[in-house]
Amino acid sequence: MMAVRVDSKEAIAKGETSLGIELGSTRIKAVLINHQFETIASGSYEWENRLENGFWTYNLDDVITGLQTAYSEMKQEVERNYGITIRTIGSIGFSAMMHGYLAFDKTGELLVPFRTWRNATTGVAAKKLTEKFNFNIPERWSIAHLYQAILNEEKHLPRLHFMTTLAGYIHWLLTGNKALGIGDASGMFPIDETTQDYNESMLKQFDELIANESYPWKLKDILPKVLVSGEHGGKLTEAGAKILDRSQELQPGIPVCPPEGDAGTGMVATNSVKKRTGNVSVGTSVFAMIVLENELSKVYPEIDMVTTPNGSPVAMVHANNCSSDINAWLGLFKEFAEAMGQKVEQDKLYEVMLNKALEADPDGGGLLSYGYFSGENITGLEEGRPLFVRSPESHFNLANFMRTHLFTSFGALKMGMDILTKKENVTIDSILAHGGLFKTPVVGQKILAAAMNTPVSVMATAGEGGAWGMAILASYMNNKTADESLADFLDKKVFEDADGQKMYPDGDDVKGFEDFIERYKKGLAIEKAAVNHLVI
């Protein structure tokens, strides 16, 4: 342990470290690693999106505050544990929630408030573009947001000079470069695997589609440049260093790797960039990323086609809603406990309540819930209403209540994954899961294995998540050997001695989930009625 500490102190002093910062939906996290890919220090900042004027958004001032706070906490941890002040870093990378719409004019002014991936307001545009391209364009994608704004004749469009994702915005702010990693770029506009760039024929189709609008821009001119993992994305500018480190002790000139989306960093953090591998990321939203051997036979609106950070094709099943309703219910139970005079630690509350699900009936006792805080594309809902339903005959107890909420958190994901496994016969050798839900051992992994009917592994690094994965990408840029692929770098260096716990699906759990998902599908009419009749 002492040797690791000494080595890390030396690495910090020499700037032989890598920093990853990821802006997730509820937390901004900074992770500093050494050459052994061990976490030296971390910092974080909690935040929430807001529904304003019909759009889910984050204030860009909060983006900067969160970025600075996460960095500052990490820096202070280094000072406490190693007695050294960070002045330089070997490499840095920024990642964030994918998709959405950040639009700027030529002066860098934000034209409309940031529209996040969570908005389900682009259904018309997504449908028209999917038909035009014969390629699934999800509602979350940046191009869908842009085209919907065009269909709505929004006044800011003639001034539009640049559009990007949240990670792309941070990278631009701190390096001056309008660039994006290929994985994140693939959530803005379709990528051509052969050119490792935006699909030229689709760019042309889009420009032709909006030619009558006479805007003073072509689509490719307002999109960020596409970069592949391992390429250099620029350097931290003097202004960027001052923004990131409020103490202004961090020096400029640090190499910065291509910014990536949270899907890409999840693939890296779980060593899931090879074909026939996959990972599931669980948070406010949930998504599965399966690296494909072959093209799908047709276009499915439930399946997004994106790429790994090194440009391999990936089938992505993304559900907008996952853990928010579980968090809300557990907040209620915590409030009850405190009203009874019992102080409950958050981690203990989650451990006790989630583990109750292991005592439940396999199908959740006939209970039904929908944790829809927002719309859900896979089930065709533009808005959401969190909902819990039971019949008088349901077996209503705490264990079934918790199992039902865990089941439903993977409900929409299950419907999308069934398309891949049952209709397209996609082979998956391994699934690795990550996200806060898996900090509680066994239960989340067991439920997910039942939903996917595939072995699910959780690594010791699962809690580190995307920020750690982004730090790995930054390290790869600086430390790869000539012609060393990202997959080889991960296999032979990062994960060579990784300790992972694999769990195989239990037959009773699988049947229980299948019974639940049939109830879930039939009950969607109830959820739709709630949306129609419970007006916000």
165-219 pLDDT, tens digit each: 999 999 999 999 999 999 999 999 999 989 999 999 999 999 999 999 999 999 9
The pair of three-digit structure tokens given for residue 326, joined into one six-digit string: 């579980």
336-360 pLDDT, tens digit each: 999 999 999 999 999 999 999 999 9
The pair of three-digit structure tokens given for residue 14, joined into one six-digit string: 């020499």
For the chain, what percent of residues have pLDDT higher than 70?
98
291-313 pLDDT, tens digit each: 998 889 999 988 989 999 999 99
Which amino acid, one-letter code, is at 480? K
If you search the block for the tokens 């420009």, which residue do you land on?
A: 207
458-474 pLDDT, tens digit each: 876 555 678 999 999 99
If you search the block for the tokens 């409900």, which residue do you land on?
A: 411
Spatial distance between the Cα atoms of 263 and 172, rounded to a whole number of angstroms: 20
Quick one: pLDDT at residue 2? 39
Residue 396 contacts by C-beta under 8 Å, 6 or more apart in sequence? 365, 367, 390
147-156, 281-290, 452-461, 463-472: range with highest mean pLDDT: 147-156
Model confidence at 3: pLDDT above 80: no
Q: Which residues is 55 bridged to in the sheet?
A: 52
**pLDDT range class, residue 57, cuts 50, 70, 90:** very high
Q: Which residues is 315 bridged to in the sheet?
A: 290, 305
The pair of three-digit structure tokens given for residue 2, joined into one six-digit string: 């002492």
**pLDDT range class, residue 159, cuts 50, 70, 90:** very high
Q: Quick one: DSSP state of residue 87?
A: -
Quick one: pLDDT at residue 25? 87
For the chain, what percent of residues have pLDDT higher than 90?
81
Model confidence at 143: pLDDT above 90: yes
The distance of Cα 129 from the centroid of its chain, to the nearest Å, equals 23
User: β-strands 162-164, 102-104: how paired?
Assistant: antiparallel
Quick one: pLDDT at residue 430? 82
DSSP alpha helices (H): ranges in 340-437? 346-356, 398-409, 411-418
Residues, the chain? 536
CA-angle at 412, arms to 181 and 264, nearest 5°: 15
Do 506 and 449 contact (CB within 8 A), yes or no? yes
Encode 447-471 in three state secondary structure: HHHHHHCCCEEEECCCCCHHHHHHH
Do 186 and 289 contact (CB within 8 A), yes or no? no
Spatial distance between the Cα atoms of 61 and 526, rounded to a whole number of angstroms: 39
Domain residue ranges in the chain: 324-409+508-533
314-330 pLDDT, tens digit each: 999 989 999 999 999 99
The distance of Cα 383 from the centroid of its chain, to the nearest Å, equals 20
Quick one: pLDDT at residue 135? 95
324-339 vs 398-409: helix crossing angle, rounded to 10: 150
Q: Which residues is 304 bridged to in the sheet?
A: 316
Quick one: pLDDT at residue 301? 86
If you search the block for the tokens 């929630």, which residue do you land on?
A: 97
Residue 525 contacts by C-beta under 8 Å, 6 or more apart in sequence? none
Spatial distance between the Cα atoms of 225 and 493, rounded to a whole number of angstroms: 29
Rg of the chain on CA atoms, in Å: 23
DSSP alpha helices (H): ranges in 234-303? 238-244, 262-269
Quick one: pLDDT at residue 462? 54
DSSP alpha helices (H): ranges in 362-420? 398-409, 411-418
Which amino acid, one-letter code, is at 256? V
Model confidence at 506: pLDDT above 80: yes
Quick one: pLDDT at residue 1? 38
Quick one: pLDDT at residue 464? 60
Model confidence at 388: pLDDT above 50: yes
Do 494 and 468 contact (CB within 8 A), yes or no? no
Do 17 and 88 contact (CB within 8 A), yes or no? no
